């Protein structure tokens, strides 16, 4: 199977030029001007940008959480991702407390195998590194699971104490693996929540008001301190506030291997969403919570200055009608998480490129290249180059869409609301190829379930 994409503007994290891309089977085999070759399929990309497929390093599909299971599974979630121009996800497999991490990995393989529209890897959420469990981490690395998420939040659920965090970080450091941290001080937050609930504060907005930015910043600071002793690189997931970003900046100025991602929800949404009527604030209950609006500018500045390297979605969808309502009477019972895997690329193009905050190259870097590099997928993923997987988004910079649960072009997630309802974007994926196969054509999914493959990831290789 061969595909020739003609006359596109090829944009990577470092380059920007006009050319043709030739794909044989699953790989880019030639790039040049006026390529005159036969191909099974010829696509005219005049007036369009060619981006490397998006890499979303933070999704939760088919995940039991908050007394229910996420609305998107590997089939619906990856198909929606593809519609939005994302061709690789890294999802979070979970070690159940008291059980082997390898058992948890098997469970996630079973959930995903044969289901996905795009390629996928796994991080492992480690919850229990007692006894000889640390030795399992070597096996995980051998199986391509080269990064581990630890939680300072959610006591009694996913939380790890500092001793276990240190022990796990040390082992990860020895193996050359990466630690991803959910940095919120869950112990103090639980105290704040208990007090609020005892005072009769039950509405969704209290989810945010009981999780202060200081408790995020403190946890980021503690993560960096412990990681320094353990000699391991750390990647702070879903960074939401200026206070927390300050800690990252200090560490990076000292030259420490500290990285961070933020998410569209923290760049486009804010605390006021919790004050919506009719329990609608529950749609935005996630952790960390949405912050006061001024934090958005600081996070954008973090992306501009490379103190924040990547944008993920933390896609964790729960239906409003019958899942978010589990917390109708008490905010602590609202399942934490929001949908967004489909909207990341178009939102970041709008807020970043169209609104003049970042260059086209930086757009590619934060939506694809940096995550591929940090998580051992580069240059197979994250760029358009000879030898790379032909994961390519043919992007129409002029197409305008209004994101809505009712727009058949922008909503394929298996959830009954859009977190970005009514947001207008200019620029949208027209055609999406995954390993050389067209899977999205003008809003239509033309791939098939099971096209996606598991990605055995390499170890982290340092980036700036």
Interface contacts to ligand URP, rule CB under 6 A: 60, 182, 238, 286-287, 314, 316, 336-337
Whose Cβ is closer to Zn ion: residue 11's or residue 316's? 316
E strands present in 142-224: 147-151, 178-182
Question: What does 436 bind: Zn ion, ligand URP, none (CB cut-off 5 to 8 Å by kind)?
Answer: none
Q: List the x/- string, 137-176, binding to Zn ion by CB under 5 A.
A: ----------------------------------------
Whose Cβ is closer to ligand URP: residue 287's or residue 434's? 287
Other C-beta atoms closer than 10 Å to the C-beta of 464 total: 8
Question: From residue 407, how far is each of 147, 329, 425 by CA, in Å?
Answer: 36, 31, 13
Tracing tokens 């899977």 back to the chain, one arrives at 439
Whose Cβ is closer to ligand URP: residue 371's or residue 394's? 371
- Nearest by Cα to 241 from 219, 256, 273: 219
- Smallest gap, in angstroms, from Cβ of residue 244 to ligand URP? 14
- Torsion (CA) 196, 202, 205, 209 in degrees, nearest 10: 10
Quote the tokens at residue 140.
Answer: 């995980």
Q: Show contacts with Zn ion in window 175-204 (CB under 5 A).
A: 182
Question: What does 336 bind: ligand URP, Zn ion, none (CB cut-off 5 to 8 Å by kind)?
Answer: ligand URP
Other C-beta atoms closer than 10 Å to the C-beta of 304 total: 15
Question: What does 380 bind: Zn ion, ligand URP, none (CB cut-off 5 to 8 Å by kind)?
Answer: none
Helix (H, G, I), strand (E, B) or coil at 439: strand
- Nearest by Cα to 362 from 291, 311, 433: 311
- Nearest by Cα to 26 from 3, 50, 55, 53: 3
- Smallest gap, in angstroms, from Cβ of residue 337 to ligand URP? 4
Question: What does 367 bind: ligand URP, Zn ion, none (CB cut-off 5 to 8 Å by kind)?
Answer: none
How many angstroms separate the CA atoms of 121 and 114, rounded? 14
How many angstroms separate the CA atoms of 22 and 30, rounded? 5
Sole window of 218-226, 310-318, 416-424, 456-464 interacting with Zn ion (rule: CB under 5 A): 310-318
- By CB under 5 A, how many residues form the interface with Zn ion? 2
- Smallest gap, in angstroms, from Cβ of residue 183 to ligand URP? 10
Sole window of 312-320, 348-356, 358-366, 420-428 interacting with Zn ion (rule: CB under 5 A): 312-320
Q: Which residue intervals of 273-366 are DSSP H helices?
A: 295-304, 344-348, 360-364
Whose Cβ is closer to ligand URP: residue 159's or residue 378's? 159
- Name the residue number minimizing CB distance to Zn ion: 182
Binding residues for Zn ion, rule: CB under 5 A, are: 182, 314
């Amino acid at each position: 199977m061969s595909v020739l994409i003609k006359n596109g503007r090829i944009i990577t994290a470092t380059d920007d030029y006009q050319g043709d891309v030739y794909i044989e089977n699953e790989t880019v085999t030639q790039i040049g001007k006026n390529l005159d070759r036969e191909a099974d399929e010829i696509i005219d990309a005049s007036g369009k940008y060619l981006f490397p497929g998006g890499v979303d390093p933070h999704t939760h599909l088919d995940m039991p959480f908050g007394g229910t299971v996420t609305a998107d599974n590997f089939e619906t979630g990856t198909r929606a991702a593809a519609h939005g121009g994302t061709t690789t996800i890294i999802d979070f497999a979970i070690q159940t407390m008291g059980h082997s991490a390898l058992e948890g990995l098997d469970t996630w393989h079973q959930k995903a195998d044969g289901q996905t529209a795009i390629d996928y890897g796994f991080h492992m959420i480690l919850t229990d590194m007692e006894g000889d469990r640390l030795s399992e981490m070597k096996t995980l690395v051998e199986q391509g699971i080269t990064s581990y998420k630890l939680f300072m939040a959610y006591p009694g659920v996913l939380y790890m104490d500092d001793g276990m965090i240190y022990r796990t970080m040390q082992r990860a450091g020895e193996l050359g693996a990466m630690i991803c941290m959910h940095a919120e001080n869950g112990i103090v937050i639980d105290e704040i929540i208990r007090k609020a609930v005892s005072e009769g504060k039950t509405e969704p907005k209290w989810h945010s008001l009981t999780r202060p930015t200081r408790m995020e910043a403190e946890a980021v600071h503690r993560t960096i301190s412990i990681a320094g002793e353990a000699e391991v690189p750390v990647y702070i997931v879903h960074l939401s506030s200026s206070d927390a970003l300050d800690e990252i900046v200090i560490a990076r100025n000292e030259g420490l291997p500290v990285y961070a991602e933020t998410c569209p929800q923290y760049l486009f949404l804010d605390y006021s969403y919790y004050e919506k009527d009719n329990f609608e604030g529950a749609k935005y209950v996630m952790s960390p919570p949405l912050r006061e609006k001024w934090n958005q500018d600081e996070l954008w500045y973090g992306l501009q200055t490379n103190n924040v390297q990547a944008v993920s979605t933390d896609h964790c969808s729960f239906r409003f009608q019958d899942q978010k309502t589990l917390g109708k009477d008490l905010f602590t019972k609202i399942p934490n998480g929001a949908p967004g895997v489909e909207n990341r690329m178009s939102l970041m193009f709008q807020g970043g490129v169209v609104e003049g905050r970042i260059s086209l190259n930086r757009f590619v870097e934060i939506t694809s290249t940096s995550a591929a590099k940090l998580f051992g997928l580069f240059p197979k993923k994250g760029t358009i180059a000879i030898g790379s997987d032909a994961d390519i988004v043919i992007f129409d910079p002029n197409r305008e869409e209004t994101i809505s649960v009712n727009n058949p072009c922008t909503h394929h997630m298996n959830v009954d609301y859009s977190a970005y309802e009514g947001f207008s974007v200019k620029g949208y994926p027209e055609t999406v190829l995954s390993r050389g196969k067209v899977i999205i054509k003008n809003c239509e999914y033309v791939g098939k379930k099971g096209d996606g493959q598991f990605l055995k990831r390499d170890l982290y290789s340092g980036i700036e």
